[in-house]
Structure 1
Amino acid sequence: MSDKKIDADFIKYWMPFYDKPDIGADYSEYTSIMNKVHRDVANGTIYESTFKDILDWKAARIKGKVDWNNFEYYDNTFKEMLKAEDDAKLSILCQLDGIGVPTASTILHFIYPERFPIIDYRVMEVLNNFGYLNTKNATSESNYHKYRNVILNIAAESNCSLSELDRALFAYHKENLD
């Protein structure tokens, strides 16, 4: 592992940078989507309009890969995923047309914000740079599970939320590795 460490001090220092307009500054949109997802999940699914909001927030280009004429299939898959064990949830979502690991992790994060981090190439690059990971492929399910474990451990050791850690790592990348 590298001499550099991601800890509570690192997160406290870097997280405010995320709110700069040229870095992130999307927290109100994030909160709005989080609220919509929680309302939907209380009804046992994720509705089409909320799903579109998630895709717009994560990567709008994905919307062109989704089979909108068969949203019932997505709805049934969301219902199945909600009932599944945590270890199976990502795989279930990745079976959907247009949904890969990054988007699946985003959906899971909005449903379970303290159990599933959003995978992002920038955050993965920071973790690689600091010696926490040794992989660049964010799109494989096995690498997501490694990434998730690293993120959960850092968040627990630093006493922060996954969102706070994500914002700090994203901001660090934008300021130092972009």
Structure 2
Amino acid sequence: MPSAHQFENDGTGGTITREFVQYWSHRYQLRPLEVDVLDVVGPAVAKRGYYKRGELQKVVRWKSPRSITYIDRNSDSDIEHLTRIALAAPERLRHRILCLLDGVGVPIASALITACEPSVFTVIDYRAIETLRAHSELSQQPNCTSYLQVCRDLANRVETDLRTLDRALWQWSKARPPGSRG
């Protein structure tokens, strides 16, 4: 198994391995809000079939706290109706429907979907994209469907779940020195 020293100094190149994912996911600091979103909010929303305002706000605070003021522009009715339609829609359309809500772009839409089904979906994030590109796992700017497929394939290849993979990808990017970004 590669040493921790190798991963700490690993700049770019090479494909992502199981050891890489284990190393970086263990360095990810799990926050209480993330635990609440994934263990309480997501299952409640999945069971009910739609988001309520407070639940939507929690997910937005987890993914992108700066967007909360835009989210508050949505009516309770729009939140319920659009999230109900999105969560029942075919996978390839869910992000598009959620983006009809004020303040929801693709990253937040992916977080809303992931909260409900973290074993099936993952969050689209610039940090994760940076890590995938730096390790030759992703060559172009992905759309939602292609990003999800890359992550699912990678998680299968390295024998991990999507949440663990996402945390490793995010943490590797976060840990990079500022001057090392492409």
Measure how far apart 1:147 and its partner are.
1.4
Give the aligned length. 166
1:31 partner amino acid: V
Identity across matched positions, percent: 27
2:68 partner amino acid: K
Tell me the secondary structure at the aligned position of residue 49 of structure 2.
coil
2:101 is aligned with 1:96: yes
Q: Which runs of 4+ in 1 moved over 6 A?
A: none
Task: Work out the CA distance in 1 between the residues paired with 2:134 and 2:74.
Answer: 42
**1:69-122: CA deviation from partner (whole Å, max 9, x where unpaired):** 522112101111122111111111112221100100000110111222101111
8 Å Cα contact 1:135-1:143 kept in structure 2:
no
2:146 partner amino acid: K
Pair 1:116–1:43, CA change in 2 (3 A): same
8 Å Cα contact 1:123-1:170 kept in structure 2:
yes
Pair 1:106–1:69, CA change in 2 (3 A): closer
Task: Work out the CA distance in 1 between the residues paired with 2:124 and 2:169.
Answer: 11
State TM-score, norm by structure 1: 0.85
Structure 1 unaligned runs (5+)? 20-24, 137-141
Supply the RMSD in Å over aligned alpha carbons.
1.8
2:170 partner amino acid: F
Tell me the secondary structure at the aligned position of residue 123 of structure 2.
coil
Map of 1:116 onto structure 2: 121
Task: Work out the CA distance in 2 between the residues paired with 1:89 and 1:124.
Answer: 20
2:173 is aligned with 1:173: yes
Candidates 24, 41, 51, aligned match of 2:46:
41
2:102 partner amino acid: D
8 Å Cα contact 2:24-2:171 kept in structure 1:
yes
2:22 partner amino acid: K
Measure how far apart 1:12 and its partner are.
1.1
Structure 2 unaligned runs (5+)? 1-11
Measure how far apart 1:174 and its partner are.
1.8
Measure how far apart 1:135 and its partner are.
3.3
Task: Work out the CA distance in 2 between the residues paired with 1:121 and 1:174.
Answer: 10
Map of 1:139 onto structure 2: none
Task: Judge which range, 28-37 or 118-127, deviates more.
Answer: 28-37
Question: Which runs of structure 2 are paired with 1:10-89 in the superposition (5 Å)?
Answer: 10-19=20-29, 25-26=30-31, 28-34=32-38, 35-68=40-73, 70-89=75-94
